Amino acid sequence: MNSTIRIQAYDFDLAAEYELLRQFDSAVGTVVIFTGLVRDLEKNASINSLTLQHYPGMTESLLQEIVDQAQQRWDLIGVTVIHRVGELLPSDQIVFVGVASQHRADAFEAAQFVMDYLKTKATFWKKVDQDGQQHWVESKDSDQAASQRWANDD
Amino acid sequence: MIKLLFFGRLGDFAGGVSASIEAAEGLTPAIVRDGLAADHPALFAELSQSQVLISLNQMIVGWDQPIFDGAELAFLPPVTGG
């Protein structure tokens, strides 16, 4: 399987990433793409900006582990994970997960698994600026629950 | 030397992301944490929360893992990426 993991400050191009996944192999019958964007609200208050911190080296290893687990669970041809870091503004793209497979069920499920695990295991931390006040975002129980259900499937 | 890294909100309590301490015989993450209690009580309280994970040389480990000279010890609050 082909996997690409990138952590970058600059934006990503959805069409270019899709083309790469589409052209991995002529056996690709489906490509599922997920993108995460910066919401303008955090706890019902508007944000000016969001800053993403990560642990260089460890984050890439953890993402690779997540992708490797997905490959073991589903029949996949290619996986791309891109996560941006640094300062982002509302509506900016944060995260890209693209999965190419022969059949759609594998790609749909694997994309959801990668996102659920990324949100609870990969070493990223968000800080938001709300009216000049900066504070770190707290983790959500709902993200833990989403991740846990895959573990329960084992 | 041991390199210490404090991510997310822990960095605010530590006064920065990165710090270093001298290596010592029998050092563990728990001993490093407890050593911060006197001079940095707020940071110590944050590090003592059960959701804080630790990594040694970028591998998740337990609080009693031996730490050797040259290691990188990171304190990781709950992650919030994606």
Residue-wise pLDDT tens digits, B3-59 = 999 999 999 999 999 999 999 999 999 999 999 999 999 999 999 999 999 999 999
Q: What is the pLDDT of residue A131?
A: 87
A86 close to B (CB below 8 A): no
Q: What percent of chain A has pLDDT over 90?
A: 90
The pLDDT assigned to A137 comes to: 94
- Note whether B13 contacts A: Cβ–Cβ < 8 A: no
B65 by Cβ neighbours in 10 Å (0-12 / 13-18 / 19+) ranks as middle
CATH superfamily of A2-145: Molybdopterin biosynthesis MoaE subunit (3.90.1170.40)
Angle between helices A104-121 and A58-73 (to 10 degrees): 150
Q: Do B58 and A55 touch (CB under 8 A)?
A: yes
pLDDT digits (tens, 9 = 90+) for A105-129: 999 999 999 999 999 999 999 999 9
Distance from CA of B29 to the nearest CA of A (A): 18
Domain boundaries, given as residue ranges, for chain A: 2-145
> Distance from B56 to chain A by nearest Cα, in Å?
10
Q: Do B81 and A122 touch (CB under 8 A)?
A: yes
pTM greater than the 0.90 cutoff: yes
Q: Which residues of A52-69 are buried (b: 16+ CB within 10 A; e: fewer)?
A: bbbbeebbbebbeebbee
- Shortest distance between the Cα of A26 and any Cα of chain B, in A, equals 30
Q: Sorting pLDDT into bands at 50, 70 and 90, what band is A154?
A: low
pLDDT in the model for residue A24: 86
Specify the higher pLDDT residue, A16 or A154. Answer: A16
- Chain B contact for A84 (CB, 8 A cutoff): no
CA distances from A57 to A52, A60, A136 (A): 15, 5, 22
Q: Which helix (H) or strand (E) holds B47?
A: helix B41-47
Query: Is the pLDDT reported for residue A153 higher than 80?
Result: no
Select from B5, B7, B79 the Cβ nearest to the Cβ of A121: B79
Q: Is A79 on the interface with B (CB under 8 A)?
A: no
- In contact, B4 and B11? CB cutoff 8 Å: no
**A93-108 pLDDT, tens digit each:** 999 999 999 999 999 9
Per domain, the residue ranges of chain B are 26-63
Q: Is A107 on the interface with B (CB under 8 A)?
A: no
Evaluate if residue A22 carries a pLDDT over 80. yes
What dihedral angle (degrees, nearest 10) is formed by the CA atoms of A5, A6, A7, A8? Answer: -170
Helices (H), chain A: 14-22, 58-73, 104-121, 141-152
| Percent of chain A whose predicted confidence (pLDDT) is above 70 | 99
